[in-house]
Amino acid sequence: RILILDFGSQYSQLIARRVREIGVYCELHPFDLSEPSIKDFAPSGVILAGGPQSVHEADSARISDAVLSLNVPILGICYGMQALAVQLGGAVERSELREFGHARVDLVSKSRLLDGIEDSLDGDRVPGLNVWMSHGDKVSRLPAGFTLLASTPSCEIAAIADDARRWYGVQFHPEVTHTQQGQRILSRFVLEICGCEPLWTAGNIVADAIERIRAEVGTSQVLLGLSGGVDSSVVAALLHRAIGDQLTCVFVDNGLLRLNEGDQVMALFAENLKIKVIRVDAEGEFLRNLQGEADPEKKRKIIGRTFIDVFDEQAGRLQGIEYLAQGTIYPDVIESAAAKSGKAEVIKSHHNVGGLPEEMNLKLLEPLRELFKDEVRKIGLELGLPYDMVYRHPFPGPGLGVRILGEVTKAHANLLRRADAIFIEELHRAGWYHKVSQAFVVFQPVKSVGVVGDGRRYAWVVSLRAVETIDFMTARWAHLPYELLETVSSRIINEIEDISRVTYDVSSKPPATIEWE
């Protein structure tokens, strides 16, 4: 296993995902992880990630002596390389100018890290690599024992190696896809230099999780709030595989789901997979509580609170439950740890379904806490969940409640559901569904005119929204083909009498958000 120490770079999680993709388990921790925790983790190698700081800053982050005395391979990336260089007696030059973007590094000597890995360019006599750089400071003097591996015209010391100690540093970012050989470089480090075996596969993750769930839960009963989203669905399938009928799911239909979604969830989990699912039809209660409320944050709170009330009431009727399972995944764990330590700004603080374990006096079971989203999807497939469900776009907890602008009513929800289903169906048909990260329709409570035959008709307006994004923190509006937009628009207007106009949202995030409320 590999330990990744985070100095605050936006790329740290990406490094962890890449290492997992290679098939090796790794964990991401803050750079000042305590010595006992480091020893306890017993890594086969350490990756020092990048960070926004300069080693020249007064209390700049340092690599702890515990890491340097582990006697395992180390790979420093960007700030990680600079910290390594300075702490081992080299020097780092301060720079106000940032180098950012594509670069070509020349390979000037051989080492285990990069040997045989290169991108050739036509007519190029010097072997080199096409990489992604993002840095200000740079290493200006090698520490003792290190050799220079690679240079660019603006950054002479772009990669360094000490093959004897198996310590390496690269100024560029092997974890981003713009570094074409990046994944080979990381594989070389993790598999060959650290000697890890690629055992972190979907099959092994599932087998291991099942064993741990059985050991923890024993003969106890477990309750899960099933939302139909990927995370809770995978938890349901996993727990059912591990403990069978000791699992009970509560699925709250809040009346703000997509077209036929409630029935689909029941068909898959209850009928197909034979999981015990209690469906609570709470549409009336949600809509009643939402009546007259137009403020988006208040709507969110009402939906969240109503969910907890409905869920808790159901849970209270069940006998002998000891555990509450939740679909917490690794990025949630990293983010909340960073938020607690004050080291990262938390932009997103949305809460998904859950119930309140403290109030309910239940023990918490979070079998996906170590997994990234792409791993959750892979084990979902491994557990037999259909591809279309595992790779479905994310859907917010408050559902259509935040896609119906202003007051939520059943009539508007019904119109929106139909329009949304048409949009999604046409995206699938045109092969665009999986090319965008999230797509949906937004209902606007304004009436616009249209002509039907000889008459004028005033009806509602909806907007189509489709975005491409990696992390949902920033997003670009998807450049859908005009023909596709045309088909969707004419189908919605023709098939749904109460909608007279369709617009396409061409706002990117930031400054717009993905949802409209």
What is the per-residue DSSP string for 144-182? TT-EEEEE-SS-S--EEEETTTTEEEESS-TTSTTSTTH
CB closer to ligand XMP out of 260 and 513: 513
Q: Can you tell me the distance from the alpha carbon of 5 to that of 16, in angstroms, rounded to the nearest whole number?
A: 10
CB closer to ligand XMP out of 182 and 397: 397
Q: Supply 463's token pair.
A: 């907007």
Of 49, 92, 89, 48, the closest CA to residue 67 belongs to 48
Annotated binding site for ATP: 227-233
Residue ranges in 334-373 that form contacts with ligand XMP under rule CB under 6 A: 350, 352
CB closer to ligand XMP out of 120 and 349: 349
Q: Mark whether 173 is an active-site residue.
A: yes
Residue ranges in 180-219 that form contacts with ligand XMP under rule CB under 6 A: none
Residue ranges in 283-302 that form contacts with ligand XMP under rule CB under 6 A: 300
Shortest gap between Cβ of 316 and ligand XMP (angstroms)?
Answer: 25
Q: Can you tell me the distance from the alpha carbon of 83 to that of 62, in angstroms, rounded to the nearest whole number?
A: 6
Binding ligand XMP (rule: CB under 6 A), the pick from 206, 262, 397, 466 is: 397
Number of residues that bind ligand XMP (CB under 6 A): 14
Shortest gap between Cβ of 322 and ligand XMP (angstroms)?
Answer: 27
Binding ligand XMP (rule: CB under 6 A), the pick from 7, 396, 415, 444 is: 396
Q: Can you tell me the distance from the alpha carbon of 61 to that of 80, in angstroms, rounded to the nearest whole number?
A: 10
Bridge partners of residue 249, in order along the sequence: 224, 277
The DSSP element (H or E) to which 364 belongs, if any, is strand 363-365
By the rule CB under 6 A, 125 interacts with ligand XMP: no
Residue ranges in 45-64 that form contacts with ligand XMP under rule CB under 6 A: none
Shortest gap between Cβ of 507 and ligand XMP (angstroms)?
Answer: 11
- Residue 132: CB atoms within 10 A of its CB come to 19
Measured CA distances, 103 to 130, 131, 170 (Å): 6, 5, 13
Cis (ω within 30 of 0) for the bond into 510?
Answer: yes
Show the site string, 459-498: x = touches ligand XMP by CB under 6 A, - = not.
-------------x--------------------------
Catalytic residue selected from 27, 155, 173, 249: 173
Residue ranges in 220-249 that form contacts with ligand XMP under rule CB under 6 A: none
CB closer to ligand XMP out of 13 and 500: 13
Per CB under 6 A, the segment of 27-35, 52-60, 200-208, 396-404 that binds ligand XMP is 396-404
Bridge partners of residue 138, in order along the sequence: 93
Catalytic residue selected from 27, 118, 175, 426: 175
CB closer to ligand XMP out of 126 and 347: 347
Dihedrals phi, psi of 18, to nearest 5 degrees: -65, -40
Per CB under 6 A, the segment of 1-9, 116-124, 155-163, 391-399 that binds ligand XMP is 391-399
Per CB under 6 A, the segment of 15-23, 202-210, 390-398, 450-458 that binds ligand XMP is 390-398
CB closer to ligand XMP out of 250 and 436: 436
CB closer to ligand XMP out of 90 and 396: 396
Q: Tell me the residue ranges of DSSP E strands in 62-216.
A: 74-77, 91-93, 99-107, 128-135, 138-141, 147-151, 159-162, 167-170
CB closer to ligand XMP out of 79 and 516: 516
By the rule CB under 6 A, 514 interacts with ligand XMP: yes
Bridge partners of residue 19, in order along the sequence: none
Catalytic residue selected from 26, 78, 194, 196: 78
Per CB under 6 A, the segment of 92-100, 159-167, 407-415, 508-516 that binds ligand XMP is 508-516
Annotated binding site: 227-233
Dihedrals phi, psi of 294, to nearest 5 degrees: -115, -10
Show the site string, 434-453: x = touches ligand XMP by CB under 6 A, - = not.
----x---------------
Per CB under 6 A, the segment of 22-30, 76-84, 382-390, 509-517 that binds ligand XMP is 509-517
Binding ligand XMP (rule: CB under 6 A), the pick from 52, 394, 445, 481 is: 394
- Residue 358: CB atoms within 10 A of its CB come to 7
Q: Mark whether 249 is an active-site residue.
A: no
333 in Cβ contact with 373 (< 8 Å): no
What is the per-residue DSSP string for 17-56? HHHHHHT--EEEEETT--HHHHHHH--SEEEE---S--TT
Shortest gap between Cβ of 114 and ligand XMP (angstroms)?
Answer: 38
By the rule CB under 6 A, 515 interacts with ligand XMP: yes
3-state secondary structure of 212: helix
Bridge partners of residue 160, in order along the sequence: 148, 169
485 in Cβ contact with 446 (< 8 Å): no
Shortest gap between Cβ of 193 and ligand XMP (angstroms)?
Answer: 38
143 in Cβ contact with 88 (< 8 Å): yes
Pairing status of strand 2-6 against strand 45-48: parallel
Q: Which residues are catalytic?
A: 78, 173, 175
The site for ligand XMP (CB under 6 A) is made up of 300, 350, 352, 394, 396-398, 402, 438, 472, 509, 513-515
